[in-house]
Structure 1
Amino acid sequence: MTDTDGTPAGPGAALARVPVTGTSRRFDAAVRAYVRQHPRATVVALGEGLGTAFWRLDNGRLHWLTVEPPETAAVRRMLLPDGPRRRTLACPVTGSGWLDAVRAPERGVVVTVRGLLAFLRPPEVRALFAACAERFPGGALVFDTVPRWCVGRDPWRTAPAAPPLRWGLNAADLPKIASAHPNVVAVREVPPPGRGPLAGHLARWRQHVPLLHTPARTVTEIRFGARRAAAGPGPGDAAADPERPAGHRSR
């Protein structure tokens, strides 16, 4: 809920003022842009944990669906109880069960996936893109991931129990995402808000300098067009697959 000047009001006001990272700002910018066009849209946050983006982005009309595994969903409901336009669904984020829980998709749907895709296998990533493109024509999907050179290396990671990184994406791979489904009509990297084009060029350059820094996560937005029949797999699909096993630098 917001005041007339757009400032968050009510119990969520404090949560909305929690400092956010550069990656969060890019997610927020992409969602805000979509919601401006579709003010009654549903935002589906896959695996957001205890994320508080709802209170930063709420326009008083949108709906918010958080999808979490049962254990995490129970904790979120306890600490951030559901509201009239905000609810948590206990469902595997990598499955398809949550797709049917999206109400009134004709009003618009933007799916956010933060900190998750890098841990999925390439076919799982591709299946998620295709499912969203098929079910949410006119919608969008915003996700982050690491450069492809990070996959299988992880020299910066300090949590031995964390799962391995299985999927990465370079700037040169963005156009190939469109092959996931015919309904994918646009793919773009979301730039850091408030910065000029030079910042985006520098971020892309950093993708190709492994071991010199903590790898920057890129944020990408996919837009879906009108519903079209998905083409069946062809003999060239494997070569065109943007989620091919990673670990090689782009030329």
Structure 2
Amino acid sequence: MGHPDGEKIDASALAGVSETALLTLNGRAHQAAHPRAIIDDPMAIRLRDALDVDFEKFGRRKGQEMAVRSLAFDRAAIRYLSDHPKATVVALAEGLQTSFWRLTEALPDAAFRWVTVDFAPIIELRERLLPSSPRVINLAQSALDYSWTDAIDTSDGVFITAEGLLMYLQPDEAMGLITQCANRFPGGQMVFDLPPVMVKKFAPKGMRSSRRYRVPPMPFSLSASELADLVNTVPGIAAVHDLPMPKGRGFFFEKVFPAFWQLKATRNFRGAYTLVEFG
């Protein structure tokens, strides 16, 4: 990890949606290093510390929501991989996530394989800074270039993650990607997250996280009832599960947010962690 001569690696080439990978990495690393950590992610800390990035520009958001989201994704993956220990996990637009190592720690006997799909600058950073593994393949391409689907071994099951991806796509691109996965990977599952549907109305140019940084626009979202209806509108989707919010630390993240998340009255106004099963 890191560079042999101790020099940090410049990540300033990341722009647009790819740059959000630095924001989420910083949040996860901060939470993993906290004395009352809510996520066990030593690899995220090492990765952040190996990068020469002005993380302060992202503002004060120290990432409980990012760590909690990763926990929700991990739980869904662990459930699937417990039943399909040799499955292939496809991490679409993976950015600087370190999920492979968290899941390997959680399931030491599993032999799942991992395919990272992301743009070349991200793949380059991953290959320089993260340990290589014979179980990990990197594909330097857009998730919307569907040729990646041909590289996936489907014989032992497929689990697809799209963490922090779909909201940045145009609605037809996002729906096209979900539809393509449903069509290509029967028997597989896909997990993704979406922001509250109000975000695209209230922040069409993207939300500011600090004076120096604005998160890119999020043109795509669906409410909980629209998500539930995917069973009827997308061929190949057999079931849609609205996943609960894992507990974080402190009154709001431990009590208020997870309870708010479960309320019937607010379901269509909050964001979503969604698991879809392909028939």
User: TM-score scaled to structure 2, two decimals?
Assistant: 0.66
The offset of 1:89, in angstroms, is 1.1
Is 1:200–2:261 an aligned residue pair? yes
The offset of 1:192, in angstroms, is 2.4
- Aligned 8 A contact 1:129 1:180 in 2: no
User: Whole-Å Cα distance in 2 between the matches of residues 33 and 86 of structure 1?
Assistant: 20
Question: After superposition, where does 1:30-69 map in structure 2 within 5 Å?
Answer: 30-58=76-104, 59=107, 60-69=110-119
Q: 1:145 to 1:76 in 2, by over 3 A?
A: same
Question: After superposition, where does 1:89-238 map in structure 2 within 5 Å?
Answer: 89-103=139-153, 105-154=154-203, 156-158=207-209, 162-193=215-246, 198=259, 200-202=261-263, 205=266, 208=269, 217-225=271-279
User: Whole-Å Cα distance in 2 between the matches of residues 133 and 107 of structure 1?
Assistant: 16
User: Whole-Å Cα distance in 2 between the matches of residues 180 and 125 of structure 1?
Assistant: 14
The offset of 1:62, in angstroms, is 0.5
User: Whole-Å Cα distance in 1 between the matches of residues 90 and 76 of structure 2?
Assistant: 13
How many corresponding residue pairs? 206
- Aligned 8 A contact 2:207 2:217 in 1: no
- Aligned 8 A contact 1:152 1:164 in 2: no
Structure 2 residue runs of 5 or longer lacking an equivalent are: 1-40, 47-63, 248-253
Q: What does residue 232 of structure 1 align with? A: none
The offset of 1:73, in angstroms, is 0.9
- Aligned 8 A contact 2:240 2:275 in 1: yes
Q: 1:180 to 1:130 in 2, by over 3 A?
A: farther
Q: What does residue 73 of structure 1 align with? A: 123
CA distances 1:130-184 after superposition (whole Å, capped 9, x unpaired):
1111111100010001121111422743366543110112111122222453210
Q: 1:137 to 1:143 in 2, by over 3 A?
A: same
User: Whole-Å Cα distance in 2 between the matches of residues 14 and 164 of structure 1?
Assistant: 31
- Aligned 8 A contact 2:193 2:273 in 1: yes
Q: 1:156 to 1:71 in 2, by over 3 A?
A: closer
Q: 1:204 to 1:190 in 2, by over 3 A?
A: farther
- Aligned 8 A contact 1:171 1:204 in 2: no
RMSD: 2.8
Q: Which amino acid aligns with 2:68?
A: G
Per the alignment, in what secondary structure is the counterpart of residue 208 of structure 2? coil
Q: 1:40 to 1:199 in 2, by over 3 A?
A: farther
Report percent identity of matched pairs.
36
Q: 1:88 aligns with which of 138, 154, 165?
A: 138
Q: Which amino acid aligns with 1:222?
A: V
User: Whole-Å Cα distance in 1 between the matches of residues 246 and 115 of structure 2?
Assistant: 25
User: TM-score scaled to structure 1, two decimals?
Assistant: 0.73
Q: Which amino acid aligns with 1:99?
A: T
CA distances 1:187-227 after superposition (whole Å, capped 9, x unpaired):
0111124689845324972753xxxxxxx6421000001xx
Q: Which amino acid aligns with 1:34?
A: Y
User: Whole-Å Cα distance in 1 between the matches of residues 45 and 207 of structure 2?
Assistant: 30
Q: 1:96 to 1:179 in 2, by over 3 A?
A: farther
User: Whole-Å Cα distance in 2 between the matches of residues 40 and 106 of structure 1?
Assistant: 9
User: Whole-Å Cα distance in 2 between the matches of residues 131 and 180 of structure 1?
Assistant: 13
The offset of 1:17, in angstroms, is 8.3
